[in-house]
Amino acid sequence: MSTLSDLVYAQGRSTAEDVEWLHRLAGDGQLLADLAFADIVVWVPTADDSFIAVAHTRPSGAATLFYRDIVGDAVRPQWRTQVKDAFTQVRMVDSASPDWFEETPTRVRAVPIVRERAAGGRETRVIGVVTRHTNLGEARTPSRQQITFNDCADDLFGMIASADFPDLTAPTSPRRGAPRASDGLIRLDVDGITTFASPNALSAFNRLGFDDELEGESLMQVATTIMPASRQFDESLPIVMAGRAPWRADVEARGVTVSLRTIPLRENGNRIGAIVLCRDVSEIRHQEQELITKDATIREIHHRVKNNLQTVASLLRIQARRTHSDEGRDALTQAMRRVSAIAVVHDTLSEGLMQSVDFDDVFERVLKLVAEVAAAPNTRARTVKTGTFGTLPSEYATPLALALTELVTNAVEHGLADKEGEVEIIAERDEDRLAVRVRDTGVGLPEGQVGRGLGTQIVRTLIQGELSGTIDWHTLMGSGTEVTIEIPMRYIERARA
């Protein structure tokens, strides 16, 4: 299914600012649907003087009218005149009589979507229409809560038609724990006094320690009485509780956390009150704190492993300097380099929140480990990296870093021994594979022959065994050696999932 952006841009009549406005409105589609107890559809004009649906939200507390997705469909003939009038005349248009949709009586309201051309300005343009489809087949005596919800919906629709909603200065919704109308709704007047509190909202404040009725009370004073005097609170909380700004805040008391979202209500540009959505997010905040603690613990473990590996590398370096045998010194130096390469990955993991690393950054640091080899007498080697590796999970970053350290070291130490040359590392990544080529301008290998040393065995084991990839050595035309590594991305994506 096409995204809202794709559908809007395909009509060729909207700007990036229009799309951002529509995204914000669609993001509050569930709020509008739940308050109106109706299906909410967003339409944008097309080149053939019609309209196409770019977003649809079903109500969570009422039966939907559209059992099949209508996003991407053209406006139906029975709604076209109504939607077009709302768009061209910039006014809300209600259906004159019940509209029958698949043998169900409905009431339709079309509301023009008006956007400010500049933030804080009054110059506006109509960018689309939002329709409210109410199922009249479930008509029953409305409760006080349903009447209040409908009144709030009417206020928001009026703000949509006057470019007051959505408010681009409001923060975007968090991914987890965002309060919804069904979680708890409080209606405030212009002075911040509660005129209505849903049962769920009252329960949330009861858990915070407020045992009286909310109606008739100043929400800010209620928060003052229940919050411990010693606890520091969000500086935006007074503004949120008074209903003066479209912000979010948390209230904490008695081990309970309630998330608040305020939507100021305006009429003709003047503030007339506010909607405050609230939700008990204690368990969600507890889980988030556990995740933060877990992440900090994992980063500390990586930091300590890195320190230990660096200590081992230092001991190997000291031992190599004290070894009189050239062969023993070379073996210890290679072991030191391998341990240091693994330490680089753990060091990178200790700095981030994810168990994945930017391998381009890791490899830049790994290349520094071969500087000592490149600085050997009579050897002048340059290393050049092209392309990008991208992000890799830690279980793939460690073996790949170690394998590339071996390959680059061998290219410098053996291919370019006692001469001047270049080692080029080329990374190519797409959706299916990660390909890496290590190419040098050295003496090259006899075609068909590959080294049998410990380094070659390590590289084969890491690439073929741990990364399920392939590796091939061959001589370049003229001189030099090229090693080609291919790693299937499906294994990397599976590990990440």
pLDDT in tens, 294-336: 767 777 777 777 777 778 878 887 888 888 888 888 788 778 7
Residue 2 has pLDDT above 80, yes or no: no
What is the per-residue pLDDT for 42?
96
Q: What is the distance between the alpha carbons of residues 170 and 248, in angstroms, rounded to a whole number?
A: 8
Number of residues assigned to the chain: 497
- H and E: helices and strands count for the chain: 15, 18
Distance, CA of 478 to chain centre: 49
If residue 149 lies in a helix (H) or strand (E), which one and from where to where? helix 144-161
Return the beta strands (E) in 441-476 as ranges.
470-475
Q: Which two tokens stand for residue 276?
A: 């405050």
CB 170 within 8 A of CB 247: yes
How far is the first Cα of the chain from the last one, in angstroms, to the nearest whole number? 23
Q: How confident is the model at residue 136 (pLDDT cuts 50, 70, 90)?
A: confident
**Residue found by looking up tokens 């949709």 in the block:** 101
**Do β-strands 194-197 and 248-253 pair in parallel, antiparallel, or remain unpaired?**
unpaired
- DSSP secondary structure code for residue 350 in this structure: T
**461-466-470-472 Cα dihedral, nearest 10 degrees:** -30
* Structure confidence at residue 352 as a pLDDT band (50, 70, 90): low
Token readout for 398 is 């460690």
For residue 59, what pLDDT is reported? 93
Is the pLDDT reported for residue 123 higher than 80?
A: no
pTM of the model: 0.65
SS3 198: coil
* Separation of alpha carbons 62 and 385, rounded Å: 59
Say whether pLDDT at 286 is over 90.
no
Residue 139 has pLDDT above 70, yes or no: no
Mean pLDDT, residues 430-459 taken together = 75
H-helix segments, 11-56? 16-27, 29-36
Q: Which of 244, 253, 252, 241 is nearest to 277 (CA)?
A: 241
Whether the predicted pLDDT of 1 surpasses 80:
no
Query: What angle in degrees, to the nearest 10, is found between the helix axes of 199-208 and 219-226?
Result: 30
CA dist 474 and 481 (Å) reads 6
Q: 3-state class of 179 per DSSP?
A: coil
To the nearest whole number, what is the mean pLDDT of the chain?
Answer: 83
Cα gap 64→85, rounded to integer Å: 25
Positive/negative CA dihedral, 248, 251, 257, 258 = negative
- pLDDT in the model for residue 381: 73
Chain segment 24-63, per-residue pLDDT in tens: 999 999 999 999 999 999 999 998 889 999 999 999 988 8
Tell me whether the omega of the peptide bond preceding residue 59 falls within 30 degrees of 0, making it cis: no
